[in-house]
C-alpha cells in the first residue's frame, strides 16, 4: 500500500513514487482468477449471480442480474467462489461474501453491529412466543396485540425454541445460544406513534409522507390526462386509466376541472402501474401474497398540503380472466370507507416495495458499489479524486456483502416479508433498466424529471419547486448546494482547466471503468457526462457523493420512525380486495362481518411484521463511530491551505443548514412539517448522536 497523504495527479508524481503508484494499482486489480481470501485487497467485478442457492433447494434458483439485456444490473465485487453444480451460471454461497480487507468494519463498528443485530434478532423472536404453534403466516389477532409490542415486555424462551427464525438468520441465532436464555424485550415506540398513534388512519398523513416521509423519491406531477399505460393493451388490458375526470372533480369538491388542475400543476401521483403490472400474476402464484398495479392521485390544496383523491388498483388480463380494475375513494359509507382503508394498505405495500428495492437498495447501495471498485482499480491513493471520494465509500461494500447474505438473497428477509417475494430483486433490475440514469441521480435533475421542479435561474438553487412546501426537496437542495460548493472548490484546486482533465489518465480510466464495466449494461444509455471540464467533473463527483450520503440518509434513517409501526407502512399485502371479480363470496362475507379482521389479515403476519421491524430498527441506527458529512473527523489529511479552507467553509455551512431546518420545523405556515401530531422533517440534518435518531447524514452508505 502506498503510504502518502500528499495528493498528486499522475503527471505530477515525484519520480521516486511512480513505480509504487503503478504497482499498488496493479495489485488491487488482481488477475481476475481464483477465489478471493479475506486477507486480499483485490477489487474486481462480477454480476449478481450469487443470490440464488439451487444446490440447497431448486426453489431457490434465481436469475443472474447483470450482463444481459433481460436483466441489466450494476456490478458487485467478485468473490471467485466455485459455480453451482445444478446451475453453472450461479455462484455457490459457501462461506462469507468476500470484501477487500480495506473495506472491513472497524472494531467499534463490528461491536456495534453485533450488539444491535443481536437485539434486533431477539426482537424478531417476539412472535415465536405468542403462540405455542409457530406459524409464519399467523396474523395479529387484534390491534391491541400490535400495541403490546411497544407497551408490554415479552418474555423470550431459549434459542432452541425459536424454530422458524433459525432458518432465517442462523448465523445471528448462534449468538443467542452462547448468551442468556429468558429475557424480557420491548420494541421502542416509533417517533410517529409517539406523536400521533392514529396518524396512520388519516388520509392527510398518507399524503404528507410522500413529501416528508421515508420515500420522497416516488411522487410525480401528472402532466397529461387521462392517464395511460405504456404497456401493450393486447397483453395487459385497456391502457387508459379508470380514474375519470368526474371522479377527481367530485373528490376535489368541484373547485376546478381536471384540465385546469393539470394546467395549474395541481395534480400529483404515485404511479406503480406499469412497474408492477407485468409481475402481478407471477407474484400471485406464490402463497400468502398478492399484487396489483396501482395509481394514486393527489390534489395540491391552497395551503400547500396534498389531498388524497383516488386509488386505482388493476389486475391485468390473463388467459382465463379479463382485466379487472376499480377506483376507490374516501366515503361516508361504512363499507366503502373500509374498502378505502384496504386500498390504502395495498398502495402502502407497493410504496414500501418501491422504497426498499429501488429508492434504497438499487439507487444507493447497489449503484454505488461500482464507483468504489472503479476508484480502487484506476485511481491511486495519491490521486486527489480518490482522496475526495474515499470517505464516502466507507463500509458500503461490507454492508452490501451482508445484504447478499441475508436480506436480498433467495429466501432472505426481503423475499420473506415484501409482496413481490421471490421476484423482489428481479423487479429492481426492471427498474434499473427503465428508470436509472446517472445524470438524473443528481437531486436537481431528479426533481425536474418527476415534474417536481422546473429550472429557473432566478430562483434559489436555480429551481422553482412545483410544491413549495416539499420538505425533502427544500432541505435536500440546501445540502446538495453545500456539497457542490465544496467539491467545486476542491476540483478547482487540482484542475485549473480542461486540458488538466484530458491529460489525467487515471481519472479518465476511472470514469471509463464506471460506465463501461461497473454500469456496463447502461454504457450506451444517455446521461453519462464526459469529464471534459472542471464543471463537468465537479457535477459528476457531487452526484456520487450526494447518492452515497444524503440520498441514502433520506431513505434510510427514517425507516423505523415511519415503518416501525407497520400498519402505517406494511411491507406486504397478503389478501386481495374483497370486491375483486370474480368475487369470492366467502371472503366478501368475512369482510362485511368483520372488516377490522380482514384488514389485519391483509397486513404482514406476526413473523413478517416483527422481523421487518427488527431489521428497520437495525438499519435506522447510527454507529458510535459514524462519520458525518462535512464532519471535522474526516477533514482532508493533506495540509493544502486552499483545500482546508474550502472544507472548513463546508463544515460551517452544514451547521448553518441545521439551524435553517430547525427554524423551518417551527414554522406553522409549513404544514407538511409543522402541526399537531406531525413528525418534524429532520432526515437532511447533517449531524446526529448514535442510535435511532431520525437525523444525520453519514459520509457513506454505511448501514
- The residues assigned a catalytic role are 360, 365, 552, 556, 703
Q: Where is 185: in which H helix or E strand?
A: strand 183-185
Largest CA distance in the chain: 83
Q: Which residues pair with 299 in a beta bridge?
A: 267, 307
Cβ atoms 344, 562 nearer than 8 A: no
Give percent helix, percent strand, percent coil of the chain, each to the nearest 5. 50, 10, 40
* Spatial distance between the Cα atoms of 438 and 442, rounded to a whole number of angstroms: 8
381: nearest Cα among 369, 370, 393: 393
* Spatial distance between the Cα atoms of 635 and 633, rounded to a whole number of angstroms: 6
**Residue 91, all three cell numbers:** 455462484
Backbone phi, psi, residue 60, to 5°: -100, 15
399: nearest Cα among 2, 64, 103, 17: 103
Q: Which residues pair with 91 in a beta bridge?
A: 83
**Residue 419, all three cell numbers:** 409482496
- Other Cβ atoms less than 10 A from the Cβ of 689: the count is 10
**Residue 60, all three cell numbers:** 431457490
- Write the DSSP string, 570-610: -S---S--TTPSSP-HHHHHHHHH-HHHHHHHHSPPHHHHH
| Cis ω before 92 (30° cut-off from 0) | no
682: nearest Cα among 479, 484, 544: 479
Q: Where is 453: in which H helix or E strand?
A: strand 453-455
* Spatial distance between the Cα atoms of 251 and 299, rounded to a whole number of angstroms: 9
**Residue 326, all three cell numbers:** 376499480
**Residue 408, all three cell numbers:** 436480498
Q: Where is 464: in which H helix or E strand?
A: strand 463-465
Helix (H, G, I), strand (E, B) or coil at 455: strand
Where are any strands of DSSP class E within 262-411?
A: 267-272, 293-300, 306-315, 324-328
680: nearest Cα among 689, 672, 669: 672
| Cis ω before 460 (30° cut-off from 0) | no
Phi-psi sector, 395: left (phi>0), alpha (psi -120 to 50), beta: left
* Spatial distance between the Cα atoms of 683 and 693, rounded to a whole number of angstroms: 9
Terminal-to-terminal C-alpha distance of the chain: 27
Amino acid at each position: 500500500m502506498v503510504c502518502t497523504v500528499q495528493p498528486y495527479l499522475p503527471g505530477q508524481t515525484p519520480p521516486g513514487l511512480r513505480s509504487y503508484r503503478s504497482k499498488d494499482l496493479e495489485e488491487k486489480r488482481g488477475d481476475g482468477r481464483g477465489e478471493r481470501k479475506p486477507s486480499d485487497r483485490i477489487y474486481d467485478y462480477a454480476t449478481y449471480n450469487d443470490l440464488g442457492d439451487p444446490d440447497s433447494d431448486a426453489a431457490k434458483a434465481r436469475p443472474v442480474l447483470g450482463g444481459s439485456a433481460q436483466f441489466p444490473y450494476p456490478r458487485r465485487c467478485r468473490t471467485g467462489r466455485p459455480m453451482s453444480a445444478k446451475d453453472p451460471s450461479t455462484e455457490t454461497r459457501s462461506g462469507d461474501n468476500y470484501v477487500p480487507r480495506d473495506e472491513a468494519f472497524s472494531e467499534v463498528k463490528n461491536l456495534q453491529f453485533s450488539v444491535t443485530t443481536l437485539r434486533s434478532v431477539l426482537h424478531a423472536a417476539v412472535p415465536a412466543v405468542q403462540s405455542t404453534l409457530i406459524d409464519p403466516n399467523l396474523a395479529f389477532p387484534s390491534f391491541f396485540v400490535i400495541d403490546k409490542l411497544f407497551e408490554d415486555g415479552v418474555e423470550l424462551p431459549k434459542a432452541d425454541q425459536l424454530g422458524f427464525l433459525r432458518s432465517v438468520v442462523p448465523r445471528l441465532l448462534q449468538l443467542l445460544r452462547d448468551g442468556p436464555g429468558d429475557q424480557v424485550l420491548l420494541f421502542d415506540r416509533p417517533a410517529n406513534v409517539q406523536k400521533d398513534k392514529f396518524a396512520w388512519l388519516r388520509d392527510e398523513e398518507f399524503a404528507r409522507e410522500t413529501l416528508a416521509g421515508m420515500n420522497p423519491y416516488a411522487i410525480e406531477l401528472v402532466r397529461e390526462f387521462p392517464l395511460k399505460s405504456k404497456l401493450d393493451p393486447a397483453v395487459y388490458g385497456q391502457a387508459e386509466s379508470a380514474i375519470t375526470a368526474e371522479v377527481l372533480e367530485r373528490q376535489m369538491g368541484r373547485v376546478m376541472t381536471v384540465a385546469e388542475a393539470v394546467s395549474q400543476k395541481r395534480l400529483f401521483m404515485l404511479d406503480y402501474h406499469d412497474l408492477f403490472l407485468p409481475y402481478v400474476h407471477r407474484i400471485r402464484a406464490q402463497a400468502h401474497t398478492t399484487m396489483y398495479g396501482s395509481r394514486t392521485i393527489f390534489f395540491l390544496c391552497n395551503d400547500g398540503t396534498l389531498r388524497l383523491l383516488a386509488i386505482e388498483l388493476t389486475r391485468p388480463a390473463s388467459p382465463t380472466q379479463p382485466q379487472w380494475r376499480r377506483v376507490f375513494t374516501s366515503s361516508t359509507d361504512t363499507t366503502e370507507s373500509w374498502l378505502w382503508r384496504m386500498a390504502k394498505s395495498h398502495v402502502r405495500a407497493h410504496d414500501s416495495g418501491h422504497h426498499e428495492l429501488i429508492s434504497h437498495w438499487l439507487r444507493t447501495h447497489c449503484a454505488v458499489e461500482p464507483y468504489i471498485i472503479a476508484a480502487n482499480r484506476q485511481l491511486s491513493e495519491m490521486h486527489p479524486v480518490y482522496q475526495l471520494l474515499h470517505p464516502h465509500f466507507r463500509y458500503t461494500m461490507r454492508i452490501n456483502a451482508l445484504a447478499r447474505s441475508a436480506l436480498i438473497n433467495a429466501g432472505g428477509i426481503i423475499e420473506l416479508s415484501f409482496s413481490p417475494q421471490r421476484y423482489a430483486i428481479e423487479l429492481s433490475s426492471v427498474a434499473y433498466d427503465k428508470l436509472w440514469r446517472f445524470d438524473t441521480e443528481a437531486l436537481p435533475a431528479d426533481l425536474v424529471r418527476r415534474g417536481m421542479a422546473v429550472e429557473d435561474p432566478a430562483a434559489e438553487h436555480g429551481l422553482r419547486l412545483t410544491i413549495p412546501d416539499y420538505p425533502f426537496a427544500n432541505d435536500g437542495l440546501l445540502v446538495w448546494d453545500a456539497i457542490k460548493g465544496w467539491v467545486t472548490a476542491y476540483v478547482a484546486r487540482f484542475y485549473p482547466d480542461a486540458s488538466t482533465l484530458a491529460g489525467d489518465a487515471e481519472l479518465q480510466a476511472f470514469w471509463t471503468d464506471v460506465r463501461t464495466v461497473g454500469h456496463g449494461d447502461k454504457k450506451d444509455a444517455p446521461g453519462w457526462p464526459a469529464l471534459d471540464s472542471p464543471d463537468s467533473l465537479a457535477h459528476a463527483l457531487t452526484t456520487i457523493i450526494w447518492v452515497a450520503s444524503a440520498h441514502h440518509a433520506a431513505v434510510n434513517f427514517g425507516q423505523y420512525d415511519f415503518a416501525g409501526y407497520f400498519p402505517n407502512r406494511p411491507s406486504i399485502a397478503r389478501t386481495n380486495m374483497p370486491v375483486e371479480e370474480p368475487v369470492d363470496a366467502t371472503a366478501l362475507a368475512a369482510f362485511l362481518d368483520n372488516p377490522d379482521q380482514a384488514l389485519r389479515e391483509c397486513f404482514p403476519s406476526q413473523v413478517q411484521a416483527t422481523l421487518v421491524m427488527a431489521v428497520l430498527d437495525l438499519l435506522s441506527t447510527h454507529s458510535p463511530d459514524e462519520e458525518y458529512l462535512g464532519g471535522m473527523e474526516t477533514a482532508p489529511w493533506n495540509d493544502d491551505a486552499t483545500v482546508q479552507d474550502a472544507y472548513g467553509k463546508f463544515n460551517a455551512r452544514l451547521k448553518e443548514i441545521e439551524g435553517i431546518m430547525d427554524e423551518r420545523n417551527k414554522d406553522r405556515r409549513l404544514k407538511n412539517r409543522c402541526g399537531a401530531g406531525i413528525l418534524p422533517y429532520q432526515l437532511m440534518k447533517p449531524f446526529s448522536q448514535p442510535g435511532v435518531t431520525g437525523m444525520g447524514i453519514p459520509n457513506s452508505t454505511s448501514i
